[in-house]
Homo-oligomer: A and B are copies of this chain.
Amino acid sequence: MALAHAILATLMDRPYCGYDLRKRFEGSVGFFWQASFQQIYRELKKLEEQGLVHSEAIAQESRPGKNVFAVTAEGEAFLQTWIETPCEMAPLRDDLQVKMFAGFVVPRETILMELQHHQAMHQERIAVYHQIEQNAFANPEQLPEKDLFRYLTLRGGIQYEMGWLTWCEAAIAFLTQHSASAIDP
């Protein structure tokens, strides 16, 4: 039940209504934990039943009213307990690795194109991350407590993408070299 923790972690930043929470799960938080609005609303309901968050209905002129959710004291304790409990490495479930594993059933060119596609996507993602880094964390040495952890999370995203990018490049090079000799024996 880790979505609950991701929501609590986000609400620790500041209270959000479901709609705004969901927007965070597309952008920043969504880079390491995604959830649809249906999931988020369902989970918020459950969290409120458990007393880990509480909501306040806020009426707005010229907008539909909204329910703003905030973490309760119990919610924060719950989150702390979870963080203190050691966890396993996140399991991988990667389509591209499955494709690579069975790569011999398609022409070499197919795999190469897919690798180039992924190389480009990882490069783009890294560019986005670098943009955020420059905008929000230009001076990592002098960040306030909270932003320091945001910064390290971002660095995690960058390293993760770098790992995949490095692999794409190496795999393309390897397959390119070895396809020539395979076609021309």
Residues of A within 8 A of B (CB): 2, 5-6, 8-10, 12, 29, 31-34, 76, 79-80, 82-84, 86-106, 110-111, 113-114, 117-118, 121-122, 125, 140-141, 145-146, 148-150, 152-153, 155-157, 159-164, 166-167, 170-171, 174-175, 178, 182
A106 near B84 with CB under 8 A, answer yes
B12 near A102 with CB under 8 A, answer yes
How many whole Å from A140's CB to the nearest CB in chain B? 8
> How many monomers of this chain does the complex have?
2
B125 near A105 with CB under 8 A, answer no
Residue of B nearest to A81 (CB): B106
Contacts A105-B12, A106-B84, A121-B89 given; indicate if A33 touches B97 (C-beta within 8 A). yes
Residues in B neighbouring A88, C-beta threshold 8 A: 95, 121
Residues in B neighbouring A149, C-beta threshold 8 A: 100-104, 111
For the residues of A in contact with B, the DSSP-based class is helix
Residues in B neighbouring A145, C-beta threshold 8 A: 104, 182
Apart from the given pairs A89-B164, A159-B167, 15 other A-B contacts in the complex at a CB distance below 8 Å: A9-B99, A9-B101, A9-B102, A32-B92, A32-B94, A33-B92, A82-B99, A83-B103, A87-B99, A88-B121, A104-B149, A156-B171, A160-B164, A162-B163, A163-B166
Residues in B neighbouring A92, C-beta threshold 8 A: 31-33, 90, 160
